Amino acid sequence: MATLKVPLDLADLSEVKTSLDRRYSLIDEGVLERKVIAIVNGKGGVGKSSLSSALAVAWSKIGHDVLLMEMDEQGNNCEDLGISNTAMNDRGAAQAAAVLEGKPLTPAGQARPHLHVVPGGDELEEVVEELYCQRRAAKTATEPDDQTAWMGMYAAAIDKVRDDYDVIILDIAPGSEVLQLAALTAADYVLIPSKSDPSSRKGLRTVAKRFSVAAQDNTMLRLLGVVLFATNSSATKVQKNIKDALESDLRGAAPVFEQNIRHVEAAAVEARLRGKVPQELRTSSELSTSLRKSMKDLAGDYQSLAIEVMQAMADVRAQDEAGEDQE
């Protein structure tokens, strides 16, 4: 793995702090437009990357300029979009350069019309190491701003390109606390995919705690809700019980979306193997009749969810505007 030539000085986050000051001023003035959505869980294998790719494709197909950034060393988005073996897969190099060197956050290319990608990959090891170093150094700082500035490293990079896109999706690794805190500091919305098993719900509660930490500085941050994954579409009572339990875990802080994503293993695997999201394969004549039906059902789930999430984001913006009118 190549080592970046100009690593960020551990003692100097002045550019990051300047960027954060500018961000907070825009928030106070009510002119920072919400458009960054973090998709995160504290546990892997809950559908995070599949959801990120499916939403990105759905929104790009209706003409939104979407930036999909995978903050994960696994690089699953590249598989989902069929760009693993192309020049677009830079293994996280552009992302690392933006965060560590202050270079412009430059997409590797367009995986689909209107869909710009910043891949993840093993180059992000450098970023995670730097974030841990910065957090450790910040513990000795006396000024409150210096203690939390490291959390704004991604926000500083993303805010430079925020105006270039209609939606920015952050697909965040499950295991790294520092990476999740940095992503939540940069985000406006949070979407949590979860399965019904205790381990997934534990991961959800972990994210809820980190959300609370990031929200102390990022007053833009809103928890949109939970997307329930890998459910049996016919088990209505079971689904309701699961949703009630998840809402209890969140203490009513956010809803569980009505549209869940059903468990169709064969269709999900086939989609990733072909490098396309289910919506792009729903009518494929290359699939068997039974697999095409499953793919169509799964695609319908993602499509309905994309509409529901977009409505939820619009509702948050409307609430913001209503609050401004009352002031």
Q: What is the pLDDT of residues 105-137, one digit of tens each?
A: 999 999 999 999 999 999 999 999 999 999 999
| pLDDT, position 325 | 58
Distance CA 61, CA 276 (A): 13
49's enclosing H/E stretch is: helix 48-61
| pLDDT, position 145 | 86
* pLDDT tens per residue across span 12-43: 688 898 888 898 888 888 888 999 999 998 77
Distance CA 132, CA 139 (A): 11
Question: By CB neighbour count within 10 A (0-12 exposed, 13-18 middle, 19+ buried), where does 104 fall?
Answer: exposed
* pLDDT tens per residue across span 236-264: 666 677 677 767 777 766 788 989 999 89
| pLDDT, position 205 | 83
Q: Find out whether 51 and 60 touch, Cβ atoms under 8 Å.
A: no
Place of tokens 């203490």: 251
Q: What is the value of pTM for the model shown?
A: 0.91
| pLDDT, position 234 | 55
| pLDDT, position 12 | 65
Q: Find out whether 194 and 246 touch, Cβ atoms under 8 Å.
A: yes
Q: What is the dihedral of CA 301, 186, 161, 54, to 10 degrees?
A: -10
**Residue 61, phi then psi, degrees to nearest 5:** -65, -20
Q: What is the arithmetic mean of pLDDT over 220-236? A: 79
Average of per-residue pLDDT values in the chain? 88
Question: By CB neighbour count within 10 A (0-12 exposed, 13-18 middle, 19+ buried), where does 228 fall?
Answer: buried
| Nearest partner of 281 among 81, 117, 88, judged by Cα | 81
| Nearest partner of 195 among 164, 235, 225, 230, judged by Cα | 230
* pLDDT tens per residue across span 167-196: 999 999 988 899 999 999 999 999 999 887
Percent of the chain with pLDDT over 90: 62
E strands of the chain, at which residues?
A: 36-39, 66-71, 109-112, 115-118, 167-172, 189-194, 222-231, 261-262
Q: Find out whether 278 and 267 touch, Cβ atoms under 8 Å.
A: yes
| pLDDT, position 29 | 85
Any idea which of 36-45, 66-75, 277-286 has the lowest mean pLDDT?
36-45
Tokens read off for 237: 């009572």
